[in-house]
Chain A
Amino acid sequence: DAKTTQPPSMDCAEGRAANLPCNHSTISGNEYVYWYRQIHSQGPQYIIHGLKNNETNEMASLIITEDRKSSTLILPHATLRDTAVYYCIVRPTYTGRRALTFGSGTRLQVQP
């Protein structure tokens, strides 16, 4: 799987948009960009994934650059419950039950 680079930590004010960047300059054409988050001592939570086009769901939006070398996860109105470690992962279209590998992620602290 392609390597990803994320800032170690970010702060965001409650109610504002949180924009979490991820670099994945070695991404291959068949690899998706996935985002998960892990709130302290809980299981990782799937957020969103995309291949080329921007994606939006009830949790977040994913913006992927045209060259696919970087992406941004956007939480439009961050709440205190969004405080967590956010992981950007690049995985092939079909992994054959391969283990999910998390890097260091970005620790997002939402401030009141």
Chain B
Amino acid sequence: ETGVTQTPRHLVMGMTNKKSLKCEQHLGHNAMYWYKQSAKKPLELMFVYNFKEQTENNSVPSRFSPECPNSSHLFLHLHTLQPEDSALYLCASSQDRVSSSTDTQYFGPGTRLTVL
């Protein structure tokens, strides 16, 4: 148990569906991340939020829409996805503060997404 939870753990959706992934962190962190991990590929950073403000969008297609209502919750809204979007979607959090000795990222268990 890392203090970062993700739901659902598995999701199968059609290309016309709309679904949302949820992430919650119980670590008191102020930065949250969405990563994508496709089969046999390295982690790809998608979005970064700091104190609810999006600070990075790594050229992600608009069919992925993040939402961060507060520092503890992060959502990824999905619509009109493609089969190649099938992957493990990972949420992470960290304490983003220059005065910190390190800003270790802690990951959730991931959501395994399959787009049919």
Interface size bracket, B side: 20 to 34
B-chain residues with CB within 8 Å of residue A100 when the two chains form the complex: 35, 43, 45, 92, 105
Q: Are A97 and B94 in contact (CB under 8 A)?
A: yes
A-chain residues with CB within 8 Å of residue B31 when the two chains form the complex: 97
Contact with B along A42-79 (1 / 0, CB 8 A): 11111001000000000000000000000000000000
Q: Are A46 and B102 in contact (CB under 8 A)?
A: no
Q: Residue on A with the closest CB to B96? A: A97
**Shortest distance in angstroms between B1's beta carbon and chain A's nearest beta carbon?**
10
- Partner of B43 from A32, A97, A101 at Cβ < 8 Å: A101
Chain A residue total in the interface (Cβ 8 A): 20
Q: Are B104 and A46 in contact (CB under 8 A)?
A: yes
Query: Looking at chain A's contact residues, is the secondary structure mostly helix, strand, loop, or mixed?
Result: loop
**Shortest distance in angstroms between B97's beta carbon and chain A's nearest beta carbon?**
8
A96 sits at the interface (CB 8 A): yes
Stretch at the interface among B11-19, B60-68, B74-82, B108-116: B108-116
Q: Are A49 and B48 in contact (CB under 8 A)?
A: no
Q: Are A45 and B107 in contact (CB under 8 A)?
A: yes
Q: Residue on A with the closest CB to B107? A: A43
Q: Hey, which bits of chain A sit against chain B, CB under 8 A?
A: 32, 34, 41-46, 49, 91, 93-97, 99-103
A to B CB contacts below 8 Å, 8 in the list: A34-B104, A41-B88, A41-B110, A45-B2, A46-B104, A95-B103, A97-B31, A100-B92
